[in-house]
Amino acid sequence: MTNKINVAASEVQVNDHIYNGTGTNAHPTFAWETVTEARLEDGLILLITGNVKGPHGEFWLEPDEEITVIRYPAVVTAVATPTKAKAKHGHH
């Protein structure tokens, strides 16, 4: 389940998805890009999508500017406790 929510730009988190317009692709889900970095720079929030060193998108927003994001719930992984193997009693 995903949640489409409105947050202040300062509350955007890495792995949130932000809308980048329709672009050249006709499929609407391709317009959402994953935030790979979010930081404060020169008093503005810089959101980077994609690889910072390669092709990427940059979104500059005021910290209190509202933006719609898709946020997936955090995945909780259960840690399985290993079962103890029964000690084998061998005869010498």
DSSP 9-32: GGG--TT-EEE---TT-S-GGGGE
Q: Which pair of tokens denotes residue 39?
A: 């930081």
Give this prediction's pTM.
0.68
Give per-residue pLDDT as tens, 39-83. 999 999 999 998 777 778 899 999 999 999 999 887 666 666 555
CA distances from 80 to 15, 73, 85, 86 (A): 26, 21, 15, 18
Backbone angles phi, psi at 28, to 5 degrees: -65, -30
Instruction: Report, at the CATH architecture level, how domain 3-71 is classified.
Output: Roll (2.30)
Give per-residue pLDDT as tens, 17-51. 998 766 555 555 567 889 999 999 999 999 999 87
Q: Which pair of tokens denotes residue 12?
A: 């955007």
Spatial separation of the C-alpha atoms in residues 67 and 49, rounded to whole Å: 15
